[in-house]
Structure 1
Amino acid sequence: MKEKDKRVLVGMSGGIDSSAVCIMLQEQGYEVVGVTMRTWDIPSHFSTPGQSQPDEVLEAQALAARLGIEHHVADVRKEFKEVIVKYFIDEYMSGRTPNPCVMCNPLFKERILCEWADRTDCAWIATGHYCQLKDINGARYIVTGDDSTKDQSYFLWKLPQDILKRMMFPLGGMTKTEVRAYLASKGFEAKAKGGESMEICFIDKDYREFLKEHCPDIDERIGAGWFVDSKGLKLGQHKGFAYYTIGQRKGLEIALGKPAYVLKINPAKNTVMLGDADQLKAEYMLVEQVNVICMEELLRCKELSVRIRYRSRPIPCQVALLDNGQLLVKFEGEASAITPGQSAVFYEGNRVLGGGFIAFQQAIKKIAAENQEKFNR
């Protein structure tokens, strides 16, 4: 390898996974450069009074010093607020349920890693994601990690080819248990026993409290609205559509004499439709803002499945491309709680073909009836 080809930038969070990546790549002969992003400060990130840097930065710096690797801190709090936090708030204020990790990886973290890789003359970028890569016909595909309980391929469907072709996922062929054992065997017993990080790094408690804190006029802008049934009949008042998500059962604060679930959210009318669990089931789904490596491959795939939320099981399906660029998904297994704003990620076996965002499902039955001939089987 040429000198630059030996340099790899590792996104270091100070946690178990990125620490293992650094050690592993060093052992493989790479010159490791670490960068830790300071994205958002919350009290739980600071262990001692007067601490100037969050725990993850201090832990990453300590590991870098111990391994003798170059380390940088990227203070990107301003950009993170303007891009990811704004997206998160805007989605809820539009009646959708966001998945900030899906947006953060391509739009933010990997973009910044690319910038730092160029700045530090690194050919490669490595992270601790539990997924793998496979090259087919000149394209690079994401493949699920061997540890199905930790697989993170769902979050990465928006990554473009130019970034994927610089990426390394050294942990993709390992289980979390194996990673912990590896760290311990290298003399990092305390690190190996560390806890897991939060799924949404910038929210300490409940997202509703976060919305109120960062949108102090939310109750004035949205205000109370009506719970309705599937026929549009009013059932009682709610606090505002932004505080609810599809499939939600707890915290509705309405007594109907039987369990009720959020079926639909209409931000234009500020109504939240309630019903029973059976009414959450769906035969079809609309997906927008689609990003796939090869549309023709997706449309003709005979063993296609889709995941509609993180850690959900893949559901066998067919897809049809509509004239407006949306995908119409026909489920061939049971699907429930189709949630606008969440990601729909398409797989052929363990290979990610692409994904999109779940759209509002208005007129879905009519659209499905008009497009039956477009399905490939």
Structure 2
Amino acid sequence: MSAPRTVVGVSGGVDSSVAAWLLARSGESIAGLFMQNWDDDGSGECRAEEDRRDAVAVCGRLGIPFHFRDFSKQYWAGVFEHFLAEYAAGRTPNPDVLCNREVKFKHFLDAARELGAERIATGHYAQVVESGGRWRLLRGADRDKDQSYFLHQLGQAQLAATVFPIGHLPKAQVRQMAREAGLANHAKKDSTGICFIGERDFREFLGRYLPAQPGEIRDPDGVRIGMHPGVFYFTLGQREGLNIGGVRGRQAAPWYVVGKDVAGNVLYVDQDRDSPWLQSHALRSEAMHWVEGAPPATTFDCTAQVRYRQQEEPCHVRVEEDGSVSVRFVRAQRAATPGQSLVLYDGVACLGGAVIDSTDAPSPGR
């Protein structure tokens, strides 16, 4: 059997299945590869076996070879240990970004090359184009499904060896194609939750690795409001899970997390969704990763996202000598959170991104 030119990452979901179908229909020499990146922990919440069966069925339907690789050890070392360390430090990490960099576009790409392939394909909603000898990462055409935010750590070598067959399509059309192609998973629900770990009670899951340390919930003036199960279970701007009942002398309105004192094990809350404690006009990043290898200039204007599914916001960027960036926004940003990703854009082109290190939002209790 000759080696495939392209290996498709088949996850068992509709997006990767249609990506494989489009390539097969075009006459491309392809094979499918299913990645297991999380060991079954006995909770019954990991869908890996179900997803693997769906991936096998899709490859059978398309008449292409199916391959399997277990990257769970690499996922633990390259993604999950960092995820736990960030939460323990009181930050809010984004494992999907690291998962793409460390697993899908590293170990998966290596595995594809071991099979003799020249490139890989995935079902991400993003696009890659070559311009002037450089590879550019563009937003997916379906803005609601665009995943370039999670792909901002990719570089020239990875983009040169990657194709996103559905990046130019809207999700509704992808599902329609899956139905027309007779793919059994055409109506399968999109996966959510932590990358590769699936949908589950997040607090219960995290508590297996970071034991609960109950402490006080206080308002920004330091007045005790209630008790929390552990500050690292919460993120800035969060409303759910606080379990704050009626507080004497306070209005019957929702409470929002506005600050965390990890050393003191105190969680700060306020009843204003747009509380001044959540507002920042400027932030500093960790070392930036630039998709094309270098920034467009030492200072420039562009747009940015500080969280997924956020509309891009105009900002001014200054590249610092240590490789980080200082960013000032035209409008105040709500709940820009250290540990999350800052991603910069020039129109639909993703320039790159980095982890948010700090913001100029005020700190309650200090």
Q: 2:108, 2:350 → 1: CA distance?
A: 22
The answer to whether residue 259 in structure 2 is matched with residue 268 in structure 1 is no
Q: 2:299, 2:293 → 1: CA distance?
A: 10
Misfit runs of 4+, over 4 Å: 231-236
| Counterpart residue number, 2:147 | 152
| Counterpart residue number, 1:191 | 185
1:37 to 35, 38, 62: 35
Cα–Cα, structure 1 residues 251 and 233, in superposed 2: closer, same or farther, change >3 Å?
same
Q: 2:190, 2:177 → 1: CA distance?
A: 17
Q: 1:118, 1:273 → 2: CA distance?
A: 50
Conserved 8 A contact 1:294-1:353: no
What are the superposed Cα offsets for residues 305-359 of structure 1, whole Å, 9 maximum, x if unpaired? Answer: 1111111110111112334433211111341001111111100111100001111
Aligned-residue offset at 1:149: 1.1
Highest RCO, 1 vs 2 (Cα 8 Å, sep ≥ 6)? 2
Pairs within 5 Å for 1:1-80 = 7-40=5-38, 41=40, 43-45=44-46, 54-80=49-75
Q: Percent identity?
A: 34
Conserved 8 A contact 2:12-2:185: no
Aligned-residue offset at 1:235: 4.6
Structure 1: segments with no counterpart, 5+ residues: 47-52, 366-377
Letter in 2 for 1:326: S
**TM-score normalised by the chain length of structure 1:** 0.85
Letter in 2 for 1:193: A
| Counterpart residue number, 2:228 | 238
Over the aligned positions, Cα root-mean-square deviation in angstroms equals 2.2
What are the superposed Cα offsets for residues 32-70 of structure 1, whole Å, 9 maximum, x if unpaired? Answer: 111101122352456xxxxxx701111111222232211
1:285 to 271, 283, 286: 283
Letter in 1 for 2:50: D
**TM-score normalised by the chain length of structure 2:** 0.88
Conserved 8 A contact 1:298-1:353: no
Conserved 8 A contact 2:282-2:327: yes
Cα–Cα, structure 1 residues 60 and 154, in superposed 2: closer, same or farther, change >3 Å?
same
Letter in 2 for 1:62: A
2:239 to 223, 231, 249: 249
Pairs within 5 Å for 1:164-183 = 164-183=159-178
| Counterpart residue number, 2:199 | 204
Cα–Cα, structure 1 residues 321 and 234, in superposed 2: closer, same or farther, change >3 Å?
farther
| Counterpart residue number, 1:162 | 157
Q: 1:234, 1:191 → 2: CA distance?
A: 50
What are the superposed Cα offsets for residues 267-307 of structure 1, whole Å, 9 maximum, x if unpaired? Answer: 233222223323212111121131113544154444x1111
Cα–Cα, structure 1 residues 31 and 93, in superposed 2: closer, same or farther, change >3 Å?
same
| Counterpart residue number, 1:297 | 296
Aligned-residue offset at 1:142: 0.9
Q: 2:6, 2:160 → 1: CA distance?
A: 13
Letter in 1 for 2:275: D
Q: 2:224, 2:324 → 1: CA distance?
A: 32
Letter in 1 for 2:296: E
Q: 1:184, 1:60 → 2: CA distance?
A: 16
